[in-house]
């Protein structure tokens, strides 16, 4: 005979199992689209920091979340078709990397939530949202402050290379946000009495001619405006700058870890974490129109002392002391 307490335990356990199974069976699996104008990630999935941030929020691949990623490989003309693919797949949200990807997604759908991540640019100035406080529509995410940020980066570059009288600005002219940023850099350079050479690229094939032009002009420094296209070709830019011994300012620490001289910008990992938080709120019922766009809360100064030494450049000690990270 089974004792009453044992029988109740078995019965309750038996009742609990179907309830748990039912909960798992009815739990929604969210489909997250990812659209980038840049190169394909090694595993063809969205960037690992975004997926890891979502995992920490309780979204586990194969259980309650799945991903669909599309990459334009530096060919902006592909973005419209790739965005349309994600919309046809009926994803629950689209995360984008870069201004052109954001614009393509916005044109492809007015109902699926869109979250901007790294290098989205100034969302207000490009017309992607109505205002940071009240985005309106179906897009929100991480935005930036082009004018003050460009001025600060120019100040740091001038501090690192006091004798710089000319600077080449290299940017993707297919990206409206990066074009706006390049103009802000030009304004900051003129205030610092630095001559500007504006050199634009539109696809990977344009970098060779850009390097040839800089070889002829011989600027005292280079400012690379970061987006999906220039990021995909960053190693070529870094190698050119090293070979020509031209100091260069970049907008993210990844460039400096790859051998670039200086960078000042937000952490991509932190940006993806915040994008994941947006997705979490949307999956729980929030609307993009009601979620204010956010500015990065902190910017990091990274200096590559090894690159400076190879160029014969002495970085002022006060700048090294202010650096968040010095690559040696």
Regarding whether 77 and 40 lie in a shared domain, the answer is: yes
Give the ranges where 161-206 is alpha helix by DSSP (H). 176-191
Check whether residue 44 and residue 162 sit in a common domain: no
Whether the pLDDT of residue 255 is over 60: the answer is: yes
Q: Are residues 80 and 104 in the same domain?
A: yes
For 51-155, list the strands marked E by DSSP: 65-71, 93-97, 114-116, 139-141
Residue 319 forms part of a structural domain: yes
Summarised one tens digit per residue, pLDDT across range 23-73 is 443 489 999 999 999 999 999 999 999 999 999 999 999 999 999 999 999
- What percent of the chain is predicted at pLDDT more than 90? 81
- Provide the mean pLDDT of the chain: 90
Residue 7 lies in a domain: no
Together in a domain, 78 and 106: yes
Do 220 and 208 belong together in one domain?
yes
- In this model, does residue 299 exceed pLDDT 90? yes
Q: How many domains does the chain have?
A: 2
Residue 231 domain-assigned?
Answer: yes
At residue 121, the 3 state secondary structure works out as: coil
Domain annotation covers residue 309: yes
Indicate the SS3 state at residue 62.
Answer: coil
Q: Is residue 180 part of a domain?
A: yes
Instruction: Give the pLDDT score at 8.
Output: 34
Asked whether residue 136 falls in the same domain as residue 32, the answer is: yes
Are residues 276 and 201 both part of a single domain? no
Same domain? For 239 and 320 the reply is yes
Domain holding 39, by residue range, is 28-144+268-290
- 323 with 246, same domain: the answer is yes
pLDDT in the model for residue 13:
38
Domain-embedded: residue 244: yes
Q: Phi/psi at 259 (nearest 5 deg)? A: 120, 0
CATH of the domain at 52: 3.40.50.2300
138 with 284, same domain: the answer is yes
182 SS3 class = helix
Average pLDDT for 151-160: 95
Give every strand in the sheet of 248-250, ordered side by side. 195-201, 166-172, 221-224, 248-250, 262-265, 300-304, 325-327
Q: Is 310 helix (H, G, I), strand (E, B) or coil?
A: helix
Taking residues 123-135, report their average pLDDT: 93
* Residue 3 included in any domain: no
pTM, full prediction: 0.86
Using pLDDT thresholds of 50, 70 and 90, give the confidence band for residue 118.
Answer: confident
Give the model confidence (pLDDT) of 81-115 as tens digits.
999 999 999 999 999 998 999 999 999 999 999 99
**Residue 87 belongs to some domain of the structure:** yes
Do residue 92 and residue 239 come from a single domain?
A: no
Q: Are residues 155 and 115 in the same domain?
A: no
Give the span between the Cα atoms of 213 and 216, in whole angstroms.
Answer: 5
**268 vs 299: CA distance, rounded Å:** 11
Rounded Cα distance between 204 and 235, Å, is 12
């Amino acid at each position: 005979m089974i004792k009453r307490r044992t029988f109740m335990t078995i019965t309750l356990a038996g009742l609990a199992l179907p309830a748990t199974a039912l909960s798992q069976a009815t739990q929604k699996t969210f489909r997250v689209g990812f659209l980038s104008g840049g190169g394909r990630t090694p595993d063809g999935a969205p960037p690992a920091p975004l997926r890891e941030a979502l995992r920490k929020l309780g979204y586990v691949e194969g259980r309650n979340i799945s991903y669909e990623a599309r990459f334009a490989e530096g060919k902006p003309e592909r973005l419209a078709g790739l965005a349309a693919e994600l919309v046809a797949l009926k994803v629950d949200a689209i995360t984008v990397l870069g201004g052109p990807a954001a614009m393509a997604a916005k044109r492809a759908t007015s109902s699926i939530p869109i979250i901007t991540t790294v290098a989205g640019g100034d969302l207000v100035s490009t017309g992607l949202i109505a205002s940071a406080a009240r985005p309106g529509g179906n897009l929100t995410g991480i935005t930036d402050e082009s004018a003050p940020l460009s001025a600060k980066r120019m100040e740091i570059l001038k501090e690192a290379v006091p004798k710089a009288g000319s600077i080449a600005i290299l940017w993707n002219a297919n990206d409206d946000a990066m074009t706006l940023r390049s103009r802000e850099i030009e304004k900051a350079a003129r205030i610092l009495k630095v001559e500007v050479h504006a050199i634009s690229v539109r696809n990977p094939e344009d970098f060779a001619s850009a390097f040839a032009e800089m070889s002829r002009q011989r600027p005292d420094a280079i400012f690379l405006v970061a987006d999906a296209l220039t990021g995909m070709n960053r190693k070529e830019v870094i190698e050119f700058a090293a070979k020509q011994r031209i100091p260069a300012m970049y907008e993210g620490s990844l460039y400096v870890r790859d051998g670039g001289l200086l960078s000042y910008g937000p952490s991509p990992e932190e940006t993806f974490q915040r994008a994941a938080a947006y997705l979490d709120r949307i999956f729980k019922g929030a609307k993009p129109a009601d979620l204010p766009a956010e500015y990065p809360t902190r910017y990091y100064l990274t200096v590559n002392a090894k690159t400076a030494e190879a160029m014969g450049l002495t970085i002022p000690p006060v700048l090294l002391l202010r650096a968040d990270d010095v690559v040696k």
